[in-house]
Structure formats: structure tokens, C-alpha cells
Structure 1
Amino acid sequence: MTRALIVIDVQESFRARPLWETISNPKIADQVDRLVRLARGAGDLVVWVLHAEPGSGDVFDPALGHVRLMDELRREDGEPLIHKTSHNAFTTTNLQQLLTERGIRELTVCGIRTEQCVETTTRVASDLGYLVTFVVDATATNPIPHRDAPAGQSVAELLSDPRTLGADEIIRRTEYALAGRFATITTVGQLEDSAGPRA
């Protein structure tokens, strides 16, 4: 086993926010489940990562109960579950140690949000020497308000502001920024095709 699938922040916290209605990929858990089944079938390690902000009082505060895998996903015995408090999955966790101990050199990454925790983890992983595959259609994100937009915008205000950066544009930018520099960009279907027919 030299490969691992890193599932980043596919957690109920995001569904608990009003912004969920703008998510680029509401079926992300289904896409991630396909990747998890592929990884398990290949004998790869599956690592689950959740984002937590203890004491924050918001949806990322573990005390409120939303910091858990999306209900469609199932973690199997022996699959590590780590909690991070930074954007990338390395800085505030023992992820690198866990991967080193198991001889992992190749990573497949997916999760929420495309340009934030998933992209940041990809960049750090590349800098640490891992060969990274970024599964773009197994990521999801939301539109981002302009830096000068008023704080506390409603979803309607966010979507009606012409300065808002749309999710499709964010994902496209992320692909361009990562490809050939930090990761190979692929899709769930391409990985399934390369795995061949199931026995």
C-alpha cells in the first residue's frame, strides 16, 4: 500500500449552513462514496478528515453535533479519522506521520471546499513530496463574496451581487492553478475507467 485517499471535510457542518443551497455539487457524498469504494477495492488507505473549531459556537463547533461525516458515508474499522483546525489537513494533525509510517507516497484528494481546504491540502502535500491526484468532480464549493461586500450578506444578496465569484469559476481557476504544478487533475469516472471492470 503506497496510496491513500484523503477525504476532506465532507461533513454535516456544511449542510447546516444557509449557504448549502448554493453548493456546486449537492451530491458530493455520492461522488466521494464512489472514490472510497475504488480505494478500498485497490487496497488503498482511506483517511477521513473533519474540520473542527472548538468553542466557536457555530456549525464547526463539535459541541453542536455537526462535525461528523455526511450521513451517506461510512467509515470502516481501521480507517483513520483525524480532526483539523487549519485549512490544510497537515498543519494541525498527525497526517504526515500517519502516512509516513504506512509508506504512503501517493495521495488522491477530494472534499469540501474545492479552493480552500482541498486545494490547500493539495499544495502542502505536493510541497512535502507526495504525488497528488485532485478529483475535481468529487469536490464542492460555494460562490465567494467580493472582498468589499458587506459582512453578513444573505444568500440572496450574495447571488445578486455582480462581484460575487461563482462556484464554476472557482473550480475552473483551481484546476488551472493546480494542474502541472501541484497535482494531476482527474474525475471520478476517469479513475473508475482506469481501474478496469470489477470482478
Structure 2
Amino acid sequence: MTHPALLIIDVQQGLCEGAGAAFDGAGTITRINALSAAARAAGAPVVFIQHEAQNELRHGSREWQLADGLIAESGDVRLRKATPDSFNQTELQALLNERRIDALVICGMHTEFCVDTTCRRAMALGWPVWLAADAHTSAGNAALSPQQVIAHHNVTLANISSFGPLTRAVPVAALIREGRLGLPAHEHR
């Protein structure tokens, strides 16, 4: 039996507003809220991970807070991080091990930084990942539009097999419809 956890990465106010706002922030938040409600209903832990930096996303600032419209409940876990890797110098790995989590559902912001890095690290540490294909987003960059970044990572992360555990990119509606919030513990290619 799979015991997944939902990781919601960096869905913070400062990434949802201004010139560098993530693409379709409101839609992404709506889909994340649906996914987190389903995770809670299934008894899966919901973990909000918040990035912090000296100048932007300073801990405690308005920009650092969870984004407007994102629903967090008292039983959810909140972790702080200072690098793109949600496992680096945080309690995430210990928390997941303590709760005997054997699969991860990952969503959030920004796709090419913290979502990508956390997916890869999760696989390297032995967790299969379901990437919520339509619940991660980016502001894009000089080379790629946000939509291209998202599509590229959905394909790229799902084609990495060298870690053993896999990432599968699945839309939120399908994750909820299937009633599954994670991969079987030993799914490999």
C-alpha cells in the first residue's frame, strides 16, 4: 500500500505578483487547493515548503507568506528552506521517513528551479514522484515561455530513469479521479 505525501513548493505571495509573477498563478493555486483537499481526505500529509532569501522572500515578509487564495489547514506541515532543494538543510527527509512516506506528489513554483531540483532529489533519495503536471508553474525566462518551461519539465522529469524511482507527470484531475495520491512504492521502468 502506498503512503504518499503532498509537497507544495514555494507558492508564496512574492512569486504571484509583479513583473516576475508566475504564469497562471490563480489557476495553479485553484488546482493545488483541489489536490491538497483530496490529499487531506485520503489522510496524506500536506507539506507547505517556503523559500526564503535575504532580499526577496525575506522570512516573515508579506512576499514570503503563502500566496493569497492558497488554503492551508492547521494540521498541515510548514517547512522553511533557503536553496532550490527542499531536502537540503531542512527536516523534510526525516519527516517523510518518520511518517513512513513511500511516494511523493509534488507541485508548486518555480518549475525550473525548486520543483525540478526537489523532484530530482526525491528520486535520488528513493521516492517515486507524481508531478502534478498542471499544478506547477514558472515565470519563464529569456529563452522559454512559462508554458514551454512547464511542458519541458513534464516531459524531461518523466524521462529520467537512472535514479530507479520514477517521476510521472499527471494532471491534477486525473490524480484526484484515480483516487491515488502517489506511485506504488516500487514502480520502476
2:105 paired residue number: 108
2:58 paired residue number: 61
**How much does 1:30 deviate?**
0.6
Q: How many residue pairs were aligned?
A: 174
2:175 paired residue number: 191
Larger helix proportion of the pair: 1
Conserved 8 A contact 1:24-1:167: no
1:81 paired residue number: 78
> TM-score when scaled to structure 2?
0.85
1:166 aligns with 2:181: no
Q: Distance between the aligned counterparts of 1:62 and 1:16, measured in 2?
A: 17
2:18 paired residue number: 17
**How much does 1:63 deviate?**
4.7
**How much does 1:57 deviate?**
2.8
List, as ranges, runs of 4+ consecutive aligned residues in structure 1 with deviation greater than 6 Å: none
The C-alpha deviation readout for 1:118-162, integer Å capped at 9, x for no partner, is 1110000000000110011001111212xxxxxxxxxxxxxxxxx
Which of 1 and 2 has greater Rg?
1
Q: Distance between the aligned counterparts of 1:17 and 1:51, measured in 2?
A: 18
**How much does 1:25 deviate?**
4.4
Query: For the aligned residues, what is the CA RMSD?
Result: 1.7
1:7 paired residue number: 8
2:163 paired residue number: none
Conserved 8 A contact 2:155-2:169: no
Q: Distance between the aligned counterparts of 2:17 and 2:173, measured in 1?
A: 29
Aligned to 1:144, the other structure's residue is in SS state: coil
Q: Distance between the aligned counterparts of 1:16 and 1:190, measured in 2?
A: 29
> TM-score when scaled to structure 1?
0.81
Residue identity over aligned pairs, in percent, reads: 29
Q: Distance between the aligned counterparts of 1:57 and 1:41, measured in 2?
A: 37
Conserved 8 A contact 1:35-1:188: yes
| Structure 2 unaligned regions, length at least 5 | 161-165, 181-189
| Structure 1 unaligned regions, length at least 5 | 146-163
Q: Distance between the aligned counterparts of 2:59 and 2:50, measured in 1?
A: 10
The amino acid of 2:69's aligned partner reads E
Q: Distance between the aligned counterparts of 1:124 and 1:118, measured in 2?
A: 10
1:136 aligns with 2:133: yes
1:93 paired residue number: 90
